[in-house]
Each structure stands twice: as structure tokens, then as C-alpha cells.
Copies of this chain bind each other. A is one copy, B any other.
């Protein structure tokens, strides 16, 4: 299940990407238009700023704006930041690899086999999808 955090984060990014320019947009504005709890959205946008997707401007007339072109923002990066590892088990994760305690041998593990395929399929999608592809 996709978390609301990811869902809201994606919607916010798409919202910003669909604007003609990169003027700062206030949290309240996005929150209202996308029907998201303002305080929750606040923490999500903060995360997206810290991880390099957004810039922000304080004070009156401030808000958040995209730092890069929408076509240069891959879903792999967005999903990892918002949803966490793309792999469904740590033993097939590229960026967060961990051995399973209970699994004696990955090479013969049925779960590993299946989840490896799933990870590859998902990576393929996320790598080939940019923020730009989600708006239009």
C-alpha cells in the first residue's frame, strides 16, 4: 500500500511542476488545492526540500518551488525519499541491502527469487518515469 505521505508528496510535486513558472507557492495553497492536511503537508515538503527536490523562500510571498526541471526528476529518487526502499525485502535492495537472519542461502531462496524480479520491474518503471510524465 502506498503511504499517504508518498501520495501527498507526489501530488505536491506534480502541482508545482504543472505551473508555468517557478515562483514560490505557499503550503496553504497546495494544501487547499490538493485537499491535504496543511501540517502534514508541511512536514512532507520539508523532507522534499532537505533531499534536494524543492527550494523554499521564507517570509511574505514565500513558499516552495521546484529546483530542477520536471523532466530531470526521476521517480526512483522521489520514491526512495518518500516511500523508502523500492525493494520489498532488504535482501534484494540495491541501496538498503541487508541479509535476512532466517535465510541460510539467498541463491536458493524462493522469496529472494520472486522479489528480485519484482524489484527489477519496479525499478524499470521508476527509472523511466519522470515528474514530467505525470502531469500533462
Residue of B nearest to A75 (CB): B114
Interfacial chain B residues near A84, Cβ < 8 Å? 1
Chain A interface mostly helix, strand, loop or mixed?
helix
Check A2–B89 contact: CB distance below 8 A.
Answer: yes
Report, as a range, how many residues of chain A touch the other chain. Answer: 20 to 34
Residue of B nearest to A134 (CB): B110
CA of A52 to CA of B109, assembled, Å: 24
CA of A136 to CA of B2, assembled, Å: 32
Q: A residues within 8 Å of B by Cβ?
A: 1-2, 7, 10-11, 13-14, 34-36, 75, 84, 88-89, 102, 108-111, 113-115, 117-118, 121-122, 124-126, 129, 133-136
